[in-house]
Amino acid sequence: MTTYASTPDGTRLALDDAGGPGEPVLLVCGQGQDRHFWQGFSQALMAAAPGRWRPIALDPRGIGDSDPLPPADTGPWQTRDMAHDLVAVLDTLGLPRSHLIGFSLGGRVAQWFAVDHGDRLGALVLAGTTPGNAHGVPRDPEVSAMLARGDLAALAGTMVPPDWAAAHADALPGLMRRRPIALPVLRRYYEASEAHDAWVGLATAEAPTLVLHGTQDPVNVPDNARLLAERLPHAELAWIEGARHAPFWSHLPATVEAVSAFLARHPLPR
């Protein structure tokens, strides 16, 4: 069911909320993605344990069905500020806390949520992400250039293995992006991602954390997963063998199994 959360500055964020009595699992997508990124994963997660989970996926501000950016909003964005929008989602839905899965840029945002809002967090899954350029392992500059210019056709090859892309050629363009996004908006998300640095705070995060990563990820190279797992006090590492950047698409059963089992070991307090 699509609904909206309101942030303190009045921006409305579009949500797909599965509803029901299950434990909430807030899903935060990557750069340039909207909430439809999670559609297959949400359905598979609920099917894996009927009634156990309540996925909630959101469109970041300026993307999808969330409010467009006001013309006066031209300042720089920070991943730390984006984490405040997640608090607004929980407040709107009346949820004292939630599990959180952050993918790529969403994983950077989720790191700050764990640091600044740990009292609202259950278990954390950081997927395909990094601790930031200051402490992380860099990607190939060619991939960074693709991200900076929003080159969807080129980026599709970084998301999934070639055999999966060939078998899903009709669906892949829609998975990559459902709606056009203005280049200035994409650029601001890219700059926020590039400036991310939660390294100091990560050592204080208390949430049980699963660091999930494809072994063949060219966007956020796998050594970053090791860095995160070593830096976070309560983290474990799960590799999705053969996956590139988006195991939520190409390796859905293995990803759902890893995530569902991890969340089940760390239930929300009643």
DSSP secondary structure letters along 105-165? HHHHHHHHHHHH-GGGEEEEEEES--S-TTTSPPPPHHHHHHHHHT-HHHHHHHHS-HHHH
- pLDDT number for residue 71: 61
Q: What is the DSSP letter of 178?
A: S
pLDDT at site 176: 84
Whether the CB-CB separation of 99 and 268 falls below 8 Å is answered with: yes
Which band of pLDDT confidence, cut at 50, 70 and 90, is reported for residue 72?
low
pLDDT computed for residue 186 by the predictor = 87
Q: Give exposure, 192-226, as e/b (b: 16+ Cβ within 10 Å).
A: bbebbbbbeebeebebbbbbbbbebbbbbbbebbe
Name the pTM for this structure.
0.96
pLDDT(74) > 80: no
> Which tens digit of pLDDT belongs to each residue from 9-49?
899 999 999 999 999 999 999 998 999 999 999 999 999 99
